[in-house]
């Protein structure tokens, strides 16, 4: 490695650490020395190694400049990142994209401002809405037969659509507003659907003042021609809107956890960058962790030197895995046997974006697509479909619920990124080797054999068996798949999932008002079945599907609405299959006499007896 491959901040930090200074400043461990006098401290020091402790220094070391003031080596590092990632300005954010998103809100949104956000956004966006007392206008994701979280349809990026949403919002005070202050889109979606970002920039140019692409899962768009025009900082088209991109460098690139970048490009109307600096200061600790900052600096250098190769290799590994699964699918199908399918276009797959477009009429997608060029699927995010659902959301005779496969994989030391009812998501990050991908394939085959042998539940899920022996007594994996699938089929779960976003709940109060109910002591817990008509304090977010069904301040709809039926169904399933419970944010579960009950937090009724 030549010196020119060592980026500026990392270089300065290393040079400083090598000098073995005596520090009369924080942190108190004083280069790790303080740890060595106790056994656990010594172990900790030795486990992580002395270089880490030599590099964990106070922000008062002047030769390392200032992270918070963007001066010296930190400023050089951020400036280079802006060049490499295609931004005018880049900040390294040391509390993840959760914080980067909040920084954008603090820099652009004032109380009462309208913000247009996808309902499939990350929870940090809702936190930012609450913190800034913004008024959300929601974009809805497309329903999908496979329970995959769809992208937002482009028909929602028109003046008519936005105007009508504002006009029908109970919370917007300026009903005639032609513009929203900020629009937030998740690019790519969790499941790897990438927007034609340049088209969106043009479509929204006169409809929003600022645009934020949350690219937490997609920090690499700039580094491979496959993604051209489809990422926030893409150099075309003509500059009109000021655009932000928040990226979790730690998620699919190679930084330490919490290492994120916030990129910004100016538009016609200039944003005073001081606002962005202040917003960042409001969220940053005054004691930044230097090794974390250095890891972002190094990631810039890696992407500058090897970005294309890194991506190309990861894409190659992902394509090979996709082909191997498809080949096996065909082989099993010949014998009339089930196997996993990959959610992807069925044609021969090369690294040509044309092959990865979601096109109208393609039935592999399970969603209605209106135009050729709006979305592509990212080959790096691989969704495996387990048997059970057809492309029209109807359910097949036999099925293999994905949560059982995921539990099996977990027992074999393989952790899945996301589990749906009949799908599993695997991320092919640059760190995934061919060996690791081959191992995954092997274990998926093993599952198939264990299923065929109807291997005892007791063998693979001993912990669940130990807790609920009567439920799972004498059951094998195939038996378990059968009873669970029959139950899911009986409840028509996939159509219910697809219908979740067809009718949005009524917005009763702004999200921040619902939240302030907590500190004002104006909230109570009620049983889920008693919630209709009451106003939710929290975001209700079931996994799967992983998109909030009720936002803070929204009213629980009637018991026979798709949302309530879906939530109550989950309560029922939890009772039938203990150990395989649905995960939730915003629902409190209690167990009594072996029975699960769901509770939700709602605002107290007002004096007039009306909810909120």
Ligand X SMILES: *Cc1c(COP(=O)(O)O)cnc(C)c1O
Q: How many CB atoms lie within 10 A of CB 415?
A: 8
Q: Which is nearer to ligand X, 129 or 325 (CB)?
A: 129
To ligand X, the closest distance from the beta carbon of 215 in angstroms equals 8
CA dist., res. 106 & res. 100, Å (int): 10
Environment class of 397 (CB within 10 Å of its CB; exposed 0-12, middle 13-18, buried 19+): exposed
To ligand X, the closest distance from the beta carbon of 93 in angstroms equals 8
> Which residue in this structure is represented by tokens 């329903």?
143
Give the full edge-to-edge strand order of the sheet including 523-527: 523-527, 595-603, 588-592
What is the CB-side half-sphere exposure of residue 281 using CA atoms within 13 A? 10
533: left (phi over 0), alpha (psi -120 to 50) or beta: left
CA dist., res. 144 & res. 283, Å (int): 37
To ligand X, the closest distance from the beta carbon of 125 in angstroms equals 7
To ligand X, the closest distance from the beta carbon of 249 in angstroms equals 8
How distant is the alpha carbon of residue 315 from its chain centre? 20
Q: Compute and round to an integer the Cα radius of gyration of the chain.
A: 25
Q: Which is nearer to ligand X, 96 or 387 (CB)?
A: 96
Binding site for ligand X (CB under 6 A): 96-98, 122, 124, 186, 214, 216-217, 248, 260
Q: Which is nearer to ligand X, 95 or 169 (CB)?
A: 95
Q: Which is nearer to ligand X, 216 or 440 (CB)?
A: 216
CA dist., res. 588 & res. 607, Å (int): 26
> Which residue in this structure is represented by tokens 């005596």?
22
To ligand X, the closest distance from the beta carbon of 216 in angstroms equals 3
Q: Which is nearer to ligand X, 94 or 508 (CB)?
A: 94
Cis bond before residue 308 (omega within 30° of 0) = no
Q: Which is nearer to ligand X, 95 or 486 (CB)?
A: 95
Cβ neighbours for 466, distance < 8 A, ≥ 6 positions apart = none
What is the three-class DSSP state of 502?
coil
What are the Cα distances from residue 174, in Å, to 166, 178, 510? 8, 9, 15
Torsion of CA 543, 549, 552, 555, to 10 degrees: -140
CA dist., res. 170 & res. 149, Å (int): 27
Q: Which is nearer to ligand X, 18 or 585 (CB)?
A: 585
Q: Which is nearer to ligand X, 125 or 318 (CB)?
A: 125
**Which pair of tokens denotes residue 412?**
């074999």
- DSSP single-letter state for residue 419: E
Torsion of CA 204, 351, 392, 153, to 10 degrees: 0
How many residues can be counted in the chain?
Answer: 612
To ligand X, the closest distance from the beta carbon of 217 in angstroms equals 6
Q: Which is nearer to ligand X, 341 or 418 (CB)?
A: 418
To ligand X, the closest distance from the beta carbon of 16 in angstroms equals 27
CA dist., res. 232 & res. 555, Å (int): 34
To ligand X, the closest distance from the beta carbon of 602 in angstroms equals 27
To ligand X, the closest distance from the beta carbon of 277 in angstroms equals 20
CA dist., res. 365 & res. 381, Å (int): 15
CA dist., res. 503 & res. 326, Å (int): 36
To ligand X, the closest distance from the beta carbon of 20 in angstroms equals 34
Q: Please choose, from the candidates 351, 296, 366, 360, the residue with its C-alpha nearest in 3D space to the C-alpha of residue 320.
A: 351
To ligand X, the closest distance from the beta carbon of 350 in angstroms equals 28
To ligand X, the closest distance from the beta carbon of 131 in angstroms equals 15
To ligand X, the closest distance from the beta carbon of 122 in angstroms equals 3
Q: Which is nearer to ligand X, 252 or 358 (CB)?
A: 252
Q: Which is nearer to ligand X, 417 or 446 (CB)?
A: 417
CA dist., res. 263 & res. 245, Å (int): 5
Q: Please choose, from the candidates 268, 167, 171, the residue with its C-alpha nearest in 3D space to the C-alpha of residue 210.
A: 268
Q: Which is nearer to ligand X, 76 or 419 (CB)?
A: 419
> Which residue in this structure is represented by tokens 């979280």?
149
How distant is the alpha carbon of residue 606 from its chain centre? 36
To ligand X, the closest distance from the beta carbon of 474 in angstroms equals 41
To ligand X, the closest distance from the beta carbon of 498 in angstroms equals 22
Backbone angles phi, psi at 610, to 5 degrees: -95, 145
What is the CB-side half-sphere exposure of residue 139 using CA atoms within 13 A? 26
Q: How many CB atoms lie within 10 A of CB 583?
A: 12
Tell me which residue has its CB nearest to ligand X: 96
Q: Which is nearer to ligand X, 149 or 550 (CB)?
A: 149
Q: Which is nearer to ligand X, 78 or 214 (CB)?
A: 214
Q: Which is nearer to ligand X, 214 or 574 (CB)?
A: 214
């Amino acid at each position: 490695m030549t010196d020119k491959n060592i980026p500026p901040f990392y270089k300065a930090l290393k040079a400083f650490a090598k000098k073995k200074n005596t520090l009369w400043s924080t942190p108190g461990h004083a280069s790790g020395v303080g740890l060595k006098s106790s056994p656990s401290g010594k172990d900790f020091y030795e486990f992580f190694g002395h270089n880490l402790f030599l590099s964990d220094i106070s922000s008062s070391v002047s030769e390392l400049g200032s992270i918070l003031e963007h001066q010296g080596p930190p400023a050089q590092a951020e400036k280079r990142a802006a060049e490499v990632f295609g931004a005018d300005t880049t900040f390294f954010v040391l509390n993840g994209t959760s914080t980067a998103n909040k920084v954008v809100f603090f820099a652009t949104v004032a109380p009462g401002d309208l913000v247009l956000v996808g309902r499939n956004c990350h929870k940090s966006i809702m936190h930012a809405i609450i913190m800034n007392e913004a008024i959300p206008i929601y974009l809805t994701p497309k329903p999908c037969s496979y329970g995959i979280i769809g992208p937002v349809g482009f028909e929602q990026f028109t003046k008519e659509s936005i105007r009508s949403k504002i006009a029908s919002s109970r919370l917007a005070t300026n009903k005639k507003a032609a513009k929203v202050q900020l629009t937030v889109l998740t690019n790519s979606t969790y499941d790897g659907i990438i927007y034609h970002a340049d088209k969106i920039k043009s479509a929204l140019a006169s409809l929003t003042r600022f645009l934020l692409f949350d690219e937490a899962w997609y920090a690499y768009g700039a580094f491979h021609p496959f993604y051209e025009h489809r990422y926030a900082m893409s150099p075309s088209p003509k500059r009109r809107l000021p655009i932000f991109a928040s990226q979790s460098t730690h998620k699919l690139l190679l930084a330490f956890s919490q290492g994120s970048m916030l990129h910004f490009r100016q538009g016609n109307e200039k944003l005073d960058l001081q606002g962005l600096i202040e917003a960042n200061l409001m969220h940053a600790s005054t004691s930044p962790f230097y090794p974390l900052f250095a890891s972002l600096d190094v990631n810039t250098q890696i992407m500058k030197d090897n970005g294309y190769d890194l991506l190309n290799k990861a894409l190659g590994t992902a394509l090979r895995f996709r082909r191997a699964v498809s080949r096996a699918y065909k082989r099993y199908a010949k014998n009339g046997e089930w196997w996993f399918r990959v959610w992807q276009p069925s044609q021969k797959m090369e690294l040509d974006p044309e092959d990865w477009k979601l096109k109208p009429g393609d039935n592999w997608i399970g969603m209605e697509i209106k135009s050729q060029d709006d979305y592509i699927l990212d080959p790096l995010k691989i969704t495996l479909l387990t048997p059970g659902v057809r492309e029209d959301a109807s359910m097949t005779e036999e099925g293999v619920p994905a949560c059982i496969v995921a539990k099996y994989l977990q027992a074999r030391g393989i952790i899945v990124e996301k589990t749906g009812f009949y799908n599993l998501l695997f991320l092919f990050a640059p760190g995934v080797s061919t060996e690791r991908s081959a191992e995954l394939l092997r274990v998926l085959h093993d599952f198939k054999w264990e299923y065929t042998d109807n291997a005892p539940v007791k063998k693979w899920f001993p912990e669940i068996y130990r807790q609920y022996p009567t439920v799972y007594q004498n059951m094998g994996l195939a038996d378990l798949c059968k009873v669970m699938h029959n139950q899911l089929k009986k409840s028509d779960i996939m159509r219910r999932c697809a219908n979740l976003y067809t009718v949005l709940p009524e917005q009763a109060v702004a999200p921040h008002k619902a939240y302030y109910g907590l500190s004002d002591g104006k909230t109570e817990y009620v049983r889920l079945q008693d919630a209709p008509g009451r106003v939710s304090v929290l975001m209700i977010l079931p996994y799967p599907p992983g998109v909030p069904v009720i936002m803070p301040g929204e009213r629980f709809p009637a018991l026979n609405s798709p949302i309530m039926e879906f939530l109550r169904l989950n309560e029922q399933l939890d009772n039938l299959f203990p150990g395989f419970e649905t995960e939730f944010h915003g629902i409190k579960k209690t167990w009594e006499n072996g029975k699960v009950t769901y509770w939700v937090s709602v605002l107290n009724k007002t004096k007039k007896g009306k909810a909120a």
